[in-house]
Structure 1
Amino acid sequence: MVATALSLVLVLVDAATAQESEVVLKEGPGKDKAMQCATCHSLDYIPMNSPFLNKAGWGTSVAKMINVFGAPIPQEDVEIIVNYLAQNYGKSTDK
């Protein structure tokens, strides 16, 4: 019974990971700094939120990641990251 349950769990985990695809961020100035986001969470977050966030929204999001969740982002990288995200993943009205 335990072996059957374990087998089922392994099948479900395998199916879940098979559906994940590697997110590759768009090329552009600041991409290297934005890659720091992957230290704390999946990069899926970036394109998933792109329809909703303009530059101000990305700024708020990055600030929240630093101030609330403790993301280890150096202050000198914040503007570079926000600009990269807004330029490449901002709401289409920003472009």
Structure 2
Amino acid sequence: MVAFALPLPVSADEDAIKLKPGDGLAVVEQNCVACHSLDYVQMNSPFLDRKGWTAEVTKMVKTFGAPVEEADQQKIVEYFTANYGKP
């Protein structure tokens, strides 16, 4: 008898990662999770100030092609800077 081990499906548990409430959270959730998990935010937050978050959002749009409206890009930067920005 031959047994085959099939890999179990793996999925990110996005419900386990909750971002801080604040202005712009809905815009972040609508745009950012389409491409990557929210742990990316928490992982990078100790290193990024306003300039860093601006560069990250710009990179996501220009390099990776994230379909984020220009007005929403600014809201995302404001949210990250206020809630996850380096002091």
Band of TM-score, shorter chain: 0.7 to 0.9
* CA deviation profile, 1:30-86 (whole Å, cap 9, x unmatched): 101111100111011001101011110000000000000000100111111101001
Which runs of 4 or more aligned residues in structure 1 lie more than 6 Å from their structure 2 counterparts after TM superposition? 18-21
Q: Which of 49, 52, 76 is matched with 1:54 structurally?
A: 49
Query: How high is the TM-score relative to the length of structure 1?
Result: 0.78
Runs of 5+ in structure 2 lacking a partner? none
How far apart, in 1, do the equivalents of 2:38 and 2:63 lie? Answer: 19
How far apart, in 2, do the equivalents of 1:46 and 1:21 lie? Answer: 15
Query: How high is the TM-score relative to the length of structure 2?
Result: 0.85
Structure 1 match to 2:38? 43
Deviation, 1:29, is 0.4
CA-atom RMSD, angstroms?
Answer: 2.1
Structure 2 letter corresponding to 1:32: A
Structure 2 letter corresponding to 1:84: Y
Structure 1 match to 2:22? 28
Q: Larger radius of gyration, structure 1 or 2? A: 1
1:68 partnered with 2:63 = yes
The size of the alignment, in residue pairs, is 85
Higher helix share: 1
How far apart, in 2, do the equivalents of 1:72 and 1:80 lie? Answer: 14
Structure 2 match to 1:77? 72
Shift of the 60–18 alpha-carbon distance from structure 1 to 2, 3 Å rule, reads closer
